[in-house]
Structure 1
Amino acid sequence: MPKISDEKRAARRAQILEAAWACFQKEGLHATTMDDIIRASGLSAGAVYSYYPSKDELILAAVTTSLSGLTSLVIPLLQAMPAPAPATLLQQIAATIDQFTAREGYDLKRVALLGWAEAQRNERLRATMRGFYLAFRDLLEQALGRAADAGHLERSLSGKDAAKALLAMIVGFVVQDALLHDVEPEQLARGLAALAPLRRDD
């Protein structure tokens, strides 16, 4: 049999993941079966299992693929020079999340809620997500340090504390929008700007 090209393999993996995300949103992680995903993908059972031998492997791949895809889009925002004010950075990140997660037939924000819940019982998934969020928080801390250098934050503030607070807002945006569908990135920016204390020069 002829070998499948790398491009074809990547396309098939993406096809299976798209089917999995749609099924997960519709039925939940536990109620969704491999048969559901196979039917939704339009591929044979053998083809799907050759890429993902089990549903646990498929869940892990779905999470890591979405996180890595989003990270590749957010990193340039975190490394921008000159560094933006925290409210602007929050708006930029939330807008990027909005654009990345809105898919035809499903929303990855809703799937993210399922992934966070699954991580509480799946040690391998929890470790994967923990590594991602710790690395992301470190990048936020570095970005906020540059924001302080640019005069957007008081230097006396803890960069680590600020990064934790900003990450909480980003995660909170995902939760609120998935549940309430009424949160816009610019609203987050205005809210953060209103909550932030005035910078003191004394």
Structure 2
Amino acid sequence: MPKISDEKRALRRLQILEAAWRCFQSQGLHATTMDDIIKSSKLSAGAVYSYFPSKEELILAAVTTSLGGLRERLEPILAARPPPPPAAFVEQAAEAVVHFTARQTYDLRRLALLGWSEAQRNERLRETMRDFYSGFRDRLADAAGSWKQDGLLRPDASPPDVAKALLAAMLGFVAQSALIGDVDPKDLARGVGDLIRARSDDAP
């Protein structure tokens, strides 16, 4: 049989991942079987198993692929020098999350909650997420350092602590979007802006 091109292999791999994301959202990680994913992908069992020999490998690939795609969306915001002011930065980052995660037949924000839960028992998955979120937090600390230098934060602000708070806000945005649904990037930006102004007003 002739070999398929790298482009076709990438498209077929994505076809399987799309099927997995749909099944995971509708049935959950543990209730979904490889047969469910095979049926949803409309590919043969042999084709699916040639890319992903087990459901665990498929879950890991689904998380790695989604985090990699999100990193690409966030990179222009994180790389901007100087970075946007805090509230604008948060709004742009949250908008990037929304645009990347909202798909026609599933939402990666809802799937993120499943991934976070699975990471508590799957060490490989936990390491993958830890590397991504730790790296993101480091970039947030860099942005906070720039804000401090530019006088946008209190003089005694700790950039690492600001980064931890912003990461908590971003992860909370994902959770609220998935569970409650009545939050959007502008809401998050206004809240962050209000908190920063409140702390500035309290400064001695």
Q: Distance in 2 between matches of 1:153 and 1:31?
A: 47
Note the C-alpha offset of 1:17.
Answer: 0.4
Note the C-alpha offset of 1:201.
Answer: 9.0
User: Which residue number in structure 1 is paired with residue 90 of structure 2?
Assistant: 90
Q: Distance in 2 between matches of 1:146 and 1:14?
A: 38
AA paired with 2:89? L
Q: Distance in 2 between matches of 1:154 and 1:194?
A: 14
Greater Cα shift, 109-118 or 152-161: 152-161
User: Which residue number in structure 2 is paired with residue 183 of structure 1?
Assistant: 183
User: Which residue number in structure 2 is paired with residue 152 of structure 1?
Assistant: 152
Are the equivalent residues in 2 in contact too, given 1:60–1:125 (CA < 8 A)?
Answer: yes
User: Which residue number in structure 2 is paired with residue 17 of structure 1?
Assistant: 17
Match status 1:70 vs 2:67: no
- Written as runs of structure 1 = structure 2, the 5 A alignment for 1:37-116 is 37-116=37-116
Structure 2: unaligned runs, 5 residues or longer: none
Are the equivalent residues in 2 in contact too, given 1:82–1:150 (CA < 8 A)?
Answer: no
Describe the superposition over 1:82-137 as per-residue Cα deviations: whole angstroms up to 9, x where unpaired.
22121111111101100000001110000000000000000111111111111110
Greater Cα shift, 127-136 or 144-153: 144-153
Are the equivalent residues in 1 in contact too, given 2:153–2:200 (CA < 8 A)?
Answer: no
AA paired with 2:94? A
Describe the superposition over 1:56-100 as per-residue Cα deviations: whole angstroms up to 9, x where unpaired.
000000000000100011011012122212111111110110000
Describe the superposition over 1:4-48 as per-residue Cα deviations: whole angstroms up to 9, x where unpaired.
100000000100000000100000000000000000001000000
User: Which residue number in structure 2 is paired with residue 32 of structure 1?
Assistant: 32
Cα RMSD (Å): 1.3
Q: TM-score, normalised by structure 1?
A: 0.96
User: Which residue number in structure 2 is paired with residue 198 of structure 1?
Assistant: 200
AA paired with 1:164? K
Are the equivalent residues in 1 in contact too, given 2:90–2:185 (CA < 8 A)?
Answer: yes
AA paired with 1:88? A
Three-state SS of the structure 1 residue aligned to 2:152 is coil
Identity value in percent? 62
AA paired with 1:23? C
Note the C-alpha offset of 1:187.
Answer: 0.6
Are the equivalent residues in 1 in contact too, given 2:21–2:62 (CA < 8 A)?
Answer: yes
Are the equivalent residues in 2 in contact too, given 1:79–1:143 (CA < 8 A)?
Answer: no
User: Which residue number in structure 2 is paired with residue 136 of structure 1?
Assistant: 136
Structure 1: unaligned runs, 5 residues or longer: none
Q: Distance in 1 between matches of 2:203 and 2:33?
A: 59
Q: TM-score, normalised by structure 2?
A: 0.96
User: Which residue number in structure 1 is paired with residue 122 of structure 2?
Assistant: 122
